[in-house]
Amino acid sequence: MPIHFLAEAVWTGIPWLPSGWTILKLTIAVAVIGLIKWYSMGASNTAERQMHGKVVMITGGTTGIGASIALRLAERGAQIVLLVHQSPKDLFLIDFIDDLREKSGNELIYAEQVDLSSLYSVRQFATRWIDNAPPRRLDMIILCAATLTPAGKPRTLTSEGLEEAWMVNYLANFHLLSILSPAIRAQPPDRDVRILFATCSSYITSPPIEDGSEALKKKDWAPAKAYARSKLALMMFGHAFQKHLDAYKRPDGAPMNARVIFVDPGYSRTPGMRRWLTRGTLWGLALYLVFWQNVWLILKSSEGGAQSFLYAAMDVTFGRGAGGKLVKECQEMDYARVDIKDEKAAKKLWEGSEKLIERVEREEAVRRALEKKEQEKAAKGKAPEDKSNEKAEVTAKGAEKPKSRRQKKAK
């Protein structure tokens, strides 16, 4: 039988086998797909560093790229402090941390509640962190959280009245680092402290930034513009923050050991990216699922997006020399804009941000105080009501007396 079959295949060919031309076309198609996928996967991190005992604070560490970074650093023994906007009692968060601990084999993973859309929440956390003597150990801060309003969705304001992208992507980081600055500067000189800022190539398309007040104007607002602007502002601030650190004269005379590093992860398949691609709609999600293979082909995974962060976190070269480097695809890159290093522009933005924070915090403090007063008033207002209830009870009891007397009389 097999001999017959082989002889027939040799002499007449296999009927169900495609022609040579079809096979060639298929091979080319597979090779092209393979090449695109290989290119879109991006570079892999090859750097390693001893992370045991190091304290890493991370925002946006519960989903997407941030979650992959947290897992990889936890696997290497780092103590992870997740800054999350959920309550520590949130069941999903508890589950997430349990899962992370199990996967990484590291129990030193905690969460602190910090809502980056609230200046008050950022201040509460940061002041609690620095209110410690001696200063708490802090080896790395990874600023990964961000928000991007999908196209077609309306402009969102935070509870404090600030444009959301500006607040979460830029101002919250400005506020957090400004308060944590003494804790960063107080780290012993032998410690290699790194502050990783997540950026995005969209910063190139941002309009120029003045004092930041333009980001809060309703006029000309567009989701992509707001996101790009917040990332450019973040980079300008990052540079200025490095200067601020470098200018500090340490009491021990040692040079500054904290360095800012900007990281562009490249386009990745994360919940944030999915929300943007689907425009936050159900029909968008349906289209996303239909074309998922295209998304898979063109975009990296979250793990792929985390590679440049891991490189910036662990490569030995970033622990030496000047800070303020930009990393993309696991290599150092140049900036595509000169205003990032413009000291005058950065100063204007810094001062504008400080003024804005001061104003909003003052207004919010007044609002909270008024609210408290109102609550106290309401509680006091309730008290006389209670008394009147008591009175009513007394009257009711009093009313019972004649009844009892009458009853007595009747007796």
Ligand X SMILES: NC(=O)c1ccc[n+]([C@@H]2O[C@H](COP(=O)([O-])OP(=O)(O)OC[C@H]3O[C@@H](n4cnc5c(N)ncnc54)[C@H](OP(=O)(O)O)[C@@H]3O)[C@@H](O)[C@H]2O)c1
Which residues are catalytically annotated? 231
CA dihedral sign of residues 236, 311, 141, 201: positive
Task: Name the residue number minimizing CB distance to ligand X.
Answer: 272
- Least distance to ligand X from the beta carbon of 300, Å? 8
- Least distance to ligand X from the beta carbon of 273, Å? 4
- Least distance to ligand X from the beta carbon of 60, Å? 3
- Least distance to ligand X from the beta carbon of 58, Å? 9
- Least distance to ligand X from the beta carbon of 149, Å? 11
Q: Which is nearer to ligand X, 170 or 318 (CB)?
A: 170
Residues interacting with ligand X, by CB under 6 A? 59-60, 62-66, 85, 115-117, 144-147, 168, 198, 200, 264-265, 267-268, 270-273, 305
Q: Which is nearer to ligand X, 277 or 346 (CB)?
A: 277
Q: Which is nearer to ligand X, 147 or 307 (CB)?
A: 147
- Least distance to ligand X from the beta carbon of 245, Å? 21
Q: Which is nearer to ligand X, 159 or 375 (CB)?
A: 159
Q: Which is nearer to ligand X, 187 or 230 (CB)?
A: 230
Q: Which is nearer to ligand X, 117 or 257 (CB)?
A: 117
